[in-house]
Structure formats: structure tokens, C-alpha cells
Amino acid sequence: MNKWAVMFNELAQERRPMAQGLAWFDGLLVEEQVAALRLLSHYCVQARATSDDGPEAIRRAGLRATHTPAVLITRGRINEQLGKIASLAPLDERRKAFRLLISVLAVADHRRRQRFCSDGCGHQWHRLPRADVAEIE
């Protein structure tokens, strides 16, 4: 599993504080932030995120319902909306998108664990140790 996948999953599983995740995200170049959001939206699709995950993800992300990523996540076809969220351009919108996509991943993966992995599984990301305070490059 690559370093970004570890970071995303540690954040989604609350094994790493979101403040540390945001500091990591802010340290990326703009192109890397865009790539990170696209990869994160892909992970949300893989975790089988649904439109019903939107309200809980918004709440967990600490966003207002009027923030652009929050509006998008509640507007229909989840896969299309995840792509739109990952494509938001201004830095403040990318930061909100990052928080929201981590929360969508958390909600969808939690449901996936309960349904498919409750008796154990081979997913590496379901066996992560608690993160150290050290940054992931």
C-alpha cells in the first residue's frame, strides 16, 4: 500500500487526527492535491459510497450544508459528484473537499466492514496500526 493510501485510510479510520491530514494536504503542490483528491474519490467509489452517505459525511467533515462540496455530495449520482468534488479548484474548496472525501470514505468503508469483513478479511487497510505523530511524506 502506498503512502497516500495509508494516510487516507488512517484518517478515515480516525487513527490519525484530521489536523495532521490537513497539514499533510496543505504541504502538497497544487498538482499533487488534485491527484490526491482524484485518488481519494476513487477510493470512495471502491468502498461503494452511496448518495445516502452524504449527510453523515458532511456532519463528520464539519462542513455546512451550503459549502460547495456538501452541496455536490447530495446532488444525485454519487460517482459523478465525487468527480466534481475532486475537481474543485480554489484552495479553500480543495481543503473542504479533502475533509469531505475522507469522511465519505470513512462512512462507506465502515459499512463495507460490517457487511463484508466482519469475520475477517485480507484488506491491508483494515489492519493498520495506530499512526505515529510523524508526518508521512
Q: Where are the alpha helices (DSSP H) in 2-129?
A: 3-12, 18-26, 30-46, 54-61, 68-73, 78-86, 91-116
Average pLDDT over the chain, rounded to an integer: 87
pLDDT digits (tens, 9 = 90+) for 83-128: 999 999 999 999 999 999 999 999 999 888 777 666 655 545 444 4
**Domain presence at residue 5:** no
**Domain presence at residue 91:** yes
State residue 112's pLDDT score.
Answer: 82
**Domain presence at residue 92:** yes
State residue 110's pLDDT score.
Answer: 86
pLDDT at 25 over 50: yes
pLDDT at 134 over 50: no
**Domain presence at residue 86:** yes
pLDDT digits (tens, 9 = 90+) for 75-85: 989 999 999 99
pTM for the model stands at: 0.84
**Domain presence at residue 37:** yes
**Domain presence at residue 54:** yes
* Dist. CA 112–CA 65, nearest whole Å: 25
More confident residue, 135 or 117: 117
| Domain span including residue 29 | 13-116
* Dist. CA 94–CA 92, nearest whole Å: 5
**Domain presence at residue 121:** no
- Segment 3-18 shows an average pLDDT of 93
Q: How many domains does the chain have?
A: 1
**Domain presence at residue 2:** no
